[in-house]
Amino acid sequence: MRGANVTMPCKNAVIPYLDKLTLAAEAIQAVNTIVNENGTLVGYNTDGCGYTQNLRRGGVEVKGKKIVLLGGGGAASAIAGQAALEGAAEIAVFNRRDEFWPRVEQTLQTIAQAAPECSLSLHDLDDGRDLYKAIRRCDILSNATRVGMAPEVERSVITDQSCFRPELVVTDVVYAPPETRLLRDARAAGCKTCDGLGM
């Protein structure tokens, strides 16, 4: 098969052909798994539950937690949707104010409707002061951008490591390399870390 469009998943385009969506798939309007349940086609999104299960294996629950989420793409949407549905108290999403900003706003509004108890907010990733202030008061910091992915393994979204502290949990969706620069820096500061392999 040739061409990137042939092999890329159609996580949004498949939805009209399904009979039912799970809460998480409905919240983020993206499906990566379809199950035929006695003739009913049910769309699931397993990315978010992979993320929360990976945290759980490390002894971390998202319920009641304040989360700072870096990025607003598909992985970030899945994380935000699942964490909100599992009872996260606050999710602050930091994304660049680019052409995708309105789409991220819409996704967060949809998640908020599905999980009204969770406080969701969208911030500019380029506003370092706002970002580091949010990190210093959160419980979980999650990188859902491509920064740190091979071959640029020495890059990290977080350049000021003073925001790291032992009680902070730091996660990354990047799995190549298994330990990104972000996770190395966080671990050196005493943070609990989770890599992207579990997601």
Q: List Cα–Cα distances, 75 to 5, 41, 69, 160, in angstroms.
A: 19, 23, 10, 24
d(CA 139, CA 67): 6
Dihedral sign computed on CA atoms, order 24, 30, 34, 38 = positive
Active-site hit among 20, 47, 124, 160: 47
Q: And the tokens for 177?
A: 């390399």
CB 118 within 8 A of CB 112: yes
Label residues 28-41 b or e (16+ Cβ within 10 Å = b).
bbbbbeeeeeeeee
| Active-site residue flag, 47 | yes
Q: Where are the beta strands (DSSP E) in the chain?
A: 20-21, 33-37, 40-44, 66-70, 90-95, 119-124, 140-143, 169-172, 192-194
Q: And the tokens for 8?
A: 């890329």
Q: List Cα–Cα distances, 103 to 73, 123, 137, in angstroms.
A: 9, 14, 27
Could you give the residue numbers annotated as active site?
A: 11, 47
